[in-house]
Amino acid sequence: MKLSRDRVRFGLAVFGLSALAGFLLSACSDDKPAAGSSPSASSSSSSSAPSSTAPIPTASTPSLTPLPTPSKPWPTPKVTGEPAGDAPLASRITFAISKQAQIAAGKSATTTVKCPGIDKVETAGNHELTCTVTYAGKSYSGTLTVDAKQYSASYKFTSPSVAIVRAKVVDAVQRSVADAAKVTCTMDDVAVVKTADAGIACDVTTTANAVQPYKAQVSGNGQVLVAKA
C-alpha cells in the first residue's frame, strides 16, 4: 500500500507540471499573436481608394447662328383710298394724315382720322384743330393747323406720339447689331410711343450667347434710331 501511494503522488506531481507548462505556453501565445492574424497599417493604407486629381468638366456655351442682315430698306407701305384732287379739303387733309401715320408705323392698316371742325377749314383764315388718329386700334392725338386762302391752303399736323409696328423696330435693331442672333423688344405688335421718351427697350442675344440691352428711339416720321443702353 505504501508503494502504491508513492506512485499516486508521483503521478499527481507529473500531472501538475504538465498543466503548468500548458498554462505558460498559452500565456506566451496571447502576448504574441500569430503572424497574419491582423492587417498591418501599411497594408490597410495601401488598400484604400486612390485620390483623383482630374478636373471637373464644365458645360460648354453653344454659339448661336447670326440673323441675316437685311439687304433692303424697310419697305414703304402702299396706302390706298386717296381722294380725287377736287375732293373737299377736309377729305384730302385727313387722308394725308392717315397716309403719313401708316408710313411711319411701317405697315398699311385700318386708320381713321377725326378732327372736329375740319369741315370749316376751307374758310379763309388760320385754323387750329385737335385730331385723333387711330391706327390698327391704337389711338393718339395731335394738332392740325390750316392756313386757308381763297384758292389755296397749307396745313401741318404735329403730334408728340407716333404708332409703330414691332417688326419695324426689330428690323432696325437687327441692322445696327452685326452679331445679333436674337432680338426681343418690350412692346406689343403695334405700339404708340412718345418721341420724347427714352425709347423702346430691346435685348439682343449675340452669337456668343450674351445678352446686351439696346434702346430704339422712334421719331415723328417713323425713323428708328438704335443705341446701346
Spatial separation of the C-alpha atoms in residues 132 and 111, rounded to whole Å:
10
Model confidence at 168: pLDDT above 60? yes
Which contacts (CB < 8 Å, 24+ apart) does range 55-63 have? 61/208, 61/209, 62/209, 63/207, 63/208, 63/209
pLDDT confidence of residue 6: 47
Q: What is the mean pLDDT of the chain?
A: 83
Residue 130: its H or E element: strand 125-135
pLDDT confidence of residue 57: 58
CB 121 within 8 A of CB 153: yes
Model confidence at 44: pLDDT above 60? no
Q: Stretch 164-183: mean pLDDT, rounded?
A: 95
pLDDT confidence of residue 68: 87
Spatial separation of the C-alpha atoms in residues 162 and 93, rounded to whole Å:
18
Residue in the structure block whose three cell numbers are 386708320: 111
pTM: predicted TM-score of the whole model, two decimal places:
0.71
pLDDT confidence of residue 61: 60
Spatial separation of the C-alpha atoms in residues 76 and 193, rounded to whole Å:
20
- Reported as a single tens digit per residue, the pLDDT across 94-109 is 999 999 999 999 999 9
- Residue 14 in grid coordinates: 507529473
The secondary structure of 103-125, three-state, reads HHHCCCCCEEEECCCHHHCCCCE
Count H helices and E strands in the chain, helices first: 4, 10
